[in-house]
A and B are shown apart, each in its own frame.
Chain A
Amino acid sequence: MDLVISISSGICLLLGSFICVSGSIGLLRFPDFYTRMHATSVTETSGVALILIGLMILSPDLLVFAKLVMILLLGLLIGPTTGHVLAKAAYHNGLKPKLTKSGNEQSSVPSSERGGDISKS
């Protein structure tokens, strides 16, 4: 039983660490602010969740388990909020995202109009 617990928690921790490293690599690799935020959102959802689940499997009693669950829930609530605030602040201060050609054709007109309105007001 002990073996099963330590192996399954080890797998979760390893996967979580791999995802966190991948998130950091994406942060370095992607071209602009908004795409980099997508890379970090991988870290803050599944990376953190897997590491915390790995620790939950190892937790000795209910109190430690409950604290880990609280950390996970708080992280999942705070992550999108801060992500949205960052993206909104960047967009309203006139940081234009780099878009692909096809994406540009679809959305260049409304986005530039909206950006212009906001910077004037």
Chain B
Amino acid sequence: MKRHSISLFCVLVAFWLLNSGHYGFLLLALGIISISFVLYLTHRMDVVDHESQPLHLTHKVFAYHLWLIKEIFHSNIDVLKHIWRGQLTITPTLKTIKISQQSDMGKVIYANSITLTPGTISVDLENDEILVHALDASSLEGLELGEMDKRISKLEQI
């Protein structure tokens, strides 16, 4: 809990300083006042925890992001090809996919990664199934091979 508050404080300070760009006394004092107000509010709302500040993912999440950027790049090119070739080349498919993540965090990361990748949208998320709509059946096959699933499961383990 304490770690999470400190991390939230650091993020807010960085956010204020980078957005304001003025370092006079008045603006810094206003910054401190609003940051402490936000900290008080978030504690009162009881939202400062491992879900809003996922510190336990920090050391692994960057490798995953790099891999995700590569995937997004590839699927962008696929969807662009479909756009220019016209709607006869697309095969829209709706299918449920089993997921192996246990925590809510892992499930949300998986569903968001699916939606962020162009060509696939997660329509619905129930217990351990995601309903995915895909522009092209081949991109669903890629998901069913489960590489993204494996990587997120690895990410999830502390």
Contacts and interface: CB of A to CB of B under 8 A. Distances in A.
Nearest to A30: B87
Interface residues of A, number: 43
Interface in B69-104: 72-73, 76, 79-80, 82-84, 86-87, 90-96
Interface size for chain B: under 10, 10 to 19, 20 to 34, or 35 or more residues?
35 or more
Given A35-B92, A79-B116, A42 B137 contact: no
Interface string B5-28: 000000000010011010000000
Nearest to A89: B123
Contact of A84 (B19, B82, B84, B122): B122
Interface string A98-111: 11101100110011
A22 B135 contact: no
Interface of B: 15, 18-19, 21, 72-73, 76, 79-80, 82-84, 86-87, 90-96, 111-113, 115-116, 118-124, 131, 133, 135, 137
